[in-house]
Amino acid sequence: MRELLNHNIPIFRINEKLMQEIKPDMIISQDTCSVCAPYTRETRSASEILGYEPENLILNPKNFSDVLKSIETIGKKIGNLNNAYKLINTIESRTKELESAIKTSEKSNESIYSKPTVLFLDWISPFFVAGHWIPGMIEIAGGNSLNKPPSPDSVQILINTIANLDPDKIVISPCGFNLERSLAEYKRLREINWNSLKAVKNNEIYLVDSSYFSKPSPRLITGIEILCKIVNPTIFGDLEVPPNSLLRI
C-alpha cells in the first residue's frame, strides 16, 4: 500500500459498467484515510465515466460522536431523517445500557474496581496503533485506552514502545481482515519481545473481526459490545455478540 501511495498509483479501480448502470445522484466519499476508501481521484473518474457530476457528500468522522452525526447528515441529504434519528437513538440507547452496567459495577465494587489498560492494534507487521474512534470505544467499554492521544489516523508503534506500555489487554484487528485471516497473520508474528508482554503471559490477547471497528458505520456499536466482553468479562459474560467476531488467544 505504501508503494502504491508513494508512486501515486491508483489503489481502487471503478467498475465502469456498473457505475453507468447505477447512474447515481450522489456519491458518498471520505478522506479520513487515504488507504481505506476512494476519494478525489475516484470521484473525479466517476464524473468522467458518467458524463455528469453527481453530488459528492464528503464525510470525515474522527470519533464515535462524529459517526452518529454522519448518520444524521446522510438522513437529511436523502430525505430520510426520521429513520436516521431512529437509528441514532437505538445506538445511543445501547451505549447507555453498557455504560450504566459498568457504573453499577463500579459502585458495588468500588474498593477493588480498576480499569484495565487496553492497547488496540489495527496492523501487525509493522505494528500500528488504531486512532479515530477506537480510543473512545475502549473508554465506553470501561477500559483505560492506551491509544492516546486520539490520532487522526493510525500510527506505527515499535515493539519496545508496546513493551514500555505493557498493557493489561491487547486487541488485534488488522484493518479489512476477518477473524480467520487475522488469526493466520497472528501466527506469523515473530517479534522477539512479544512473549515477554504481560498481556501475552496472562492470555489477554484478543483477535476481533475488523468489520466492527474499521468502518465508521452503525456497526461500531457492536464493536463496543465486543470490547465490553473483552474489557469487562465478568459484567458482560452473557452479552451476545455475532459469531466469529471475537477470539481469545
Q: Is residue 70 part of a domain?
A: no
d(CA 1, CA 240): 35
Please tell me whether residues 38 and 161 are part of one structural domain.
no
In a domain, 98, yes or no: yes
pLDDT-derived band at 150 (thresholds 50, 70, 90) equals low
| Any domain includes 49 | yes
Residues 29 and 100 in one domain: no
Q: Virtual CA dihedral for 91, 206, 117, 235, nearest 10 degrees?
A: 60
Burial degree of 199 (CB within 10 A; 0-12, 13-18, 19+): buried
Q: What span, in angstroms and rounded, lies between the C-alpha atoms of 139 and 231? A: 10
98 and 55 share one domain? no
Residue 123 bridge partners (DSSP): 128
Domain CATH number, residue 178: 3.40.50.1980
**Listed residue (133, 123, 219, 136) closest to 171, CA to CA:** 123
What pLDDT digit, counting tens, does each position of 2-35 carry?
777 677 776 777 889 999 999 999 988 877 665 6
Q: Are residues 163 and 239 in the same domain?
A: yes
Q: Which amino acid is at 178?
A: N
Answering whether pTM is above 0.85, one says: yes
What's the rounded Cα separation, in Å, for the pair 160 and 163?
Answer: 5
Collect all residues with Cβ–Cβ distance below 8 Å to 243 and sequence separation of at least 6: none
pLDDT digits (tens, 9 = 90+) for 177-212: 999 999 999 998 988 789 999 999 999 999 999 999
Decide if 121 contacts 134 (C-beta within 8 A). no
Q: Are residues 213 and 117 in the same domain?
A: yes
pLDDT band at 106 (very low <50, low <70, confident <90, very high): confident
Cis peptide before 149 (omega within 30 of 0): yes
Give the number of domains in the chain: 2
Is 69 inside any structural domain? no
Structural domain includes residue 103:
yes
Buried b (16+ CB within 10 A) or exposed e, 72-82: ebbbeeeeeee
Give the bridge partners for 35, in sequence order.
none
In a domain, residue 204? The reply is yes
H-state helical runs in 109-147 = 134-140
* Alpha-carbon distance values, 131 to 7, 16, 99, 234 (Å): 25, 33, 21, 27
Structural element, H or E, at residue 171: strand 169-172
Domain limits for position 117: 81-248
